[in-house]
Copies of this chain bind each other. A is one copy, B any other.
Amino acid sequence: MGPILDAFDRKLLAEVQRDAQTPQSELGTRVNLSAAAVNRRLRRMAELGVIDHYAAVVAPEKVDYNLTVVVTVEVESEQIDRLDEMKRIFAACPWVQQCYYVAGEWDFVLILTVQNMEQYNELTRELFFSNNNVKRFKTLVSMSRVKVGLGVPVEIER
């Protein structure tokens, strides 16, 4: 599978990851391409799945979600179907923004966005205490969201 993206594509990706509202004509002047070419390239990358989707990014604190919590979880059994069950539960929880199944000292890492500690306490009961496959979990309360994004550094060479 050859390189799918050229330098134009990468520059465009960097731009639309930062701000997807920029008109294609403006993107064109920035990367030195006509608006039509920009349009074709963006469409192509969407079709390839390189661009998965476009999304509005909401500021949690503006909607009273002031608490971000990182939780590490160790499981009791690593049996496939029990793991799948946990993944399903975590993924389905609206307060769980991210869930990674990891190798290392822990089995899962979760990023939760909640309104307050009380809400988090409720969630711990729901997600961890009442789940008999959770051996232990550790809570790290975020005091500052230093950097928050999902971007991919497509234009970086190394």
Q: What residues of chain A have their CB less than 8 Å away from a CB belonging to chain B?
A: 2-5, 13, 16-21, 48-60, 62-65, 68, 70, 72, 87, 90-91, 94-106, 108-109, 111, 113, 119, 122, 138-154, 156, 158
Contacts and interface: CB of A to CB of B under 8 A. Distances in A.
B62 A50 contact: yes
Contacts of A141: 102-104
A59 B147 CA distance: 19
Contacts of A98: 111, 145, 147-149
Within the oligomer, what is the number of copies of this chain? 2
Contacts of A90: 146-147
B147 A3 contact: no
A152 B17 contact: no
